[in-house]
Structure 1
Amino acid sequence: MTPAKRTTSADVARVAGVSRTTVSYVLNNRPGEVIPEDTRRRVLEAAERLAYRPRASARTLAGGRSDIVVLSIPDLPIGPSISRFVEELATSLAKHGLTLFTHLMSAHGRPLADVCATVEAAAVLGFGSFEPETVAALQRLGVAMVEPVDADYNASMGPIGRLQAEHLIERGHRRLGYALPAEPGFRQMAEGRLRGAAAACAAAGLPAPVALIADPEAADAEQAVSQWRELSVTGVCAFNDEVAFAVLAGLRQAGLGAPQDMAVIGADDIPTARFATPPLSTVSIDLAEAGRHRAEQVVTGLAGERVDLSSALVKVALVHRATS
C-alpha cells in the first residue's frame, strides 16, 4: 500500500489562494503581521479541510524551539505509580503547549540522542542521571534542558522507609524486617527506603531491619518469612506493594497471617492494595503532584529562567489498613 502524500503548506496556500509566507504568518500567529480577517479565515479553513499539520522542524523555526519534551524511562516494570506520574506530566505539559514523548531505554532500542534528533526535542527528562557523553550529545543537538525527573522521587525514598518503620514501631514491633525486590533495577530505590527504615529504628534504639529479598515466587517468599521468624522479626516493611503481596503470599504458604503473626506494610498504595486479603497497609506517594511540579519546572527552564531542582515536593502519607 502506497502511503498518502503528506499535506504541505504549499497545498494550503494553493487552496486558500495565498502565498506560503501568508500561510506561515497565519498558522504561526506571527506578531506584528497584519493579515486581513478574510485571508486569515481562508487559510484556517484550508488547513482544516486538508488536515494540515506542520512538521516539527517548521514549528521549531517558527517558535524558536520545538514543543517536544522527551521522557527517557528505564527498561523496568512500570507500575501504577510511575504511570500516574507520566500521565500527569503529559497533561500538565500539554496545558503549556508542550508534547511529551516517552523513550524506553533498552539495550536493543535506538540511542536517546538519535530519538531526540528525530523529534527535535526541546527538553529531555530521565529517571536517573544521564551519562556525561549523553548530555554532551544532547546539548550538541540544541536540547535546551537535560534533567533527571527523579530528584523529587529519590528524595522521597528515605521518608517512605522511615514512615513505614515508624508506623510498625508505634504498633509495638521491636524487631523489623525489610523486604527487598528481586529486580536489580529497583535496588537503588530500595536501598534509599531501607536507609529510611534503618534511621527510624536507630532513633528508637532498635537494631537495623533484617533485609531479605522477597521474590514474588511463593516458595522464595515463604523462605524469607521463615528466616524473619527465626530472627524474631514481627513486622516487615516492603519495598513496594507488589513485594508486600509476595510477603503475604509467603505467610499464607507457611500457614501464617498478617498482622497476627507478622505485620506487613507496603508502599505506593496501588489500586489493588485495598482489595488484598487482608487489605494492605501502605504509604501513598503523590506522584501526580510531582508530575505537575516537574512540568512547571520544564516550562520555567525553557523560558530561560533558573530552575530549582532541589525542592522535593513528593508528598507521602501513611495508609493504615488491616495488615499492620
Structure 2
Amino acid sequence: MSLSLRLGLWAVAFVVALLGCSYLRSFAIRRSLVDVPNERSLHAVPVPRIGGVALCVAVWVCAAAAFVATREREILVWLLLAIPVFVVGLVDDLRPVSAGVRFGLQLAVATAFVVVVGLPGSFCFWPGVTVAVPALLSYPLAVVWIVGVLNIYNFMDGMDGIAAVQAMGAGVALSIGLSANHTGLSFVAASFVAAAAGFFVHNAPKARIFLGDAGSTVLGFTFATFPLVGSGDGSIPVLAGPVALAPFLLDGTFTLLRRARRGEKVWQAHRTHLYQRAVATGLTHGDVLMRYACWTAVSLGASIAIQRGSGAVVLAAVGAVLLGLFLVWRWVLAREARRS
C-alpha cells in the first residue's frame, strides 16, 4: 500500500468514526439506547452507549483494504473472530447478555484464534532473549491472555476518554512493532489510532457518547491478539504488548486482586478502580484523564524501548511503567486521606 493510500484510509477511519458517532448519538437518543446512571456510574445524566459501532466500522473498512492489498492471513482471522465479539457486545449494549454466554463466546473465540494462527515453539521476550515454551503451556496461557485482556479492557472503560486514550497509545506501539514483518496488521493497528481519535472527539470529558461493550471488547480482543502474532516471529517482544497496555492491565489487575483478597465477588460491577476512586475524591474526569494519558505516554515509550533496546533498557522501561502504577496509587491514597 502506498503512503498516500494509507494516509487516505486513516483519514477515512477518522471521519467515519467522527461522523458515525454523531449520527449514532442522535439515533440512540431517539431510541432510548442510553446508559442510565446508577450507584456505580461516574456520569450523572443518561448518555448513548453505542459509539463503538462507529469505531469498529471505521477500522473494518481499513482492515478490508489491508487484506486485499497484503493478503495477510492473520488480518482475515482477526476480522472474522472480532465480528462475533462485536455482535455479542452490541447485543449486551441493547439488552443484558448472561455472563456465561459472554464468557463462553470469549473462550471459543480466543481458542479459535490461537489454534488457527498458531504459536511458535519459542518466544522473544526482548531483543536477543528467546525462551522455548512448550505448546502445552503456551496455548492455554495465550487463551487466558486474550480472555483476560478483553475483559479488563471492558471493565476499565468507565470514564470519559480513558478507553480511547489507551487505544491510541497501544495502537501506536503495536503499529511500530508490526511494521517490519506484518505491514497489513501494522496498518490496521494504526487505523485504530485514527478511529479512536475520531471517537475521542465525542467521548472526551464531558462525553456525549460512550464506547459500549461492542467497542471495548473488540479493542481488548485486538490488543491481546496482535502482540501474539508479532511475538511469533520476534517482531514484538512478549513484554512489549503488556507494557503498551500497562495503565489498563495494572489498574485492572491491581483492583481485581485487591477485591479478591477482601472476599468480594470480582465479576460484579463496582467503583473501586484507581481512576474511579480518583474521581470519587472530587477530581473531574479531565483531571484524572490527563494523568492516565501521561501514564499511557510513558507506557508507549516503554513498549517501543522494549522493542528496540537491550536488557538494561528493558528493565528501565518496565521499571518506569511500574513506577507509574505506584505514583497513581499513592496519589489516589493521598487524595482519599485528605478527603476523609
Q: Higher strand share goes to which structure?
A: 1
TM range (shorter): under 0.3
Query: Of Structure 1 and Structure 2, which has the larger fraction of its residues in helix?
Result: 2
Structure number with bigger Rg: 1
Q: Name the structure, 1 or 2, with higher relative contact order (CA <8 Å, separation 6+).
A: 2
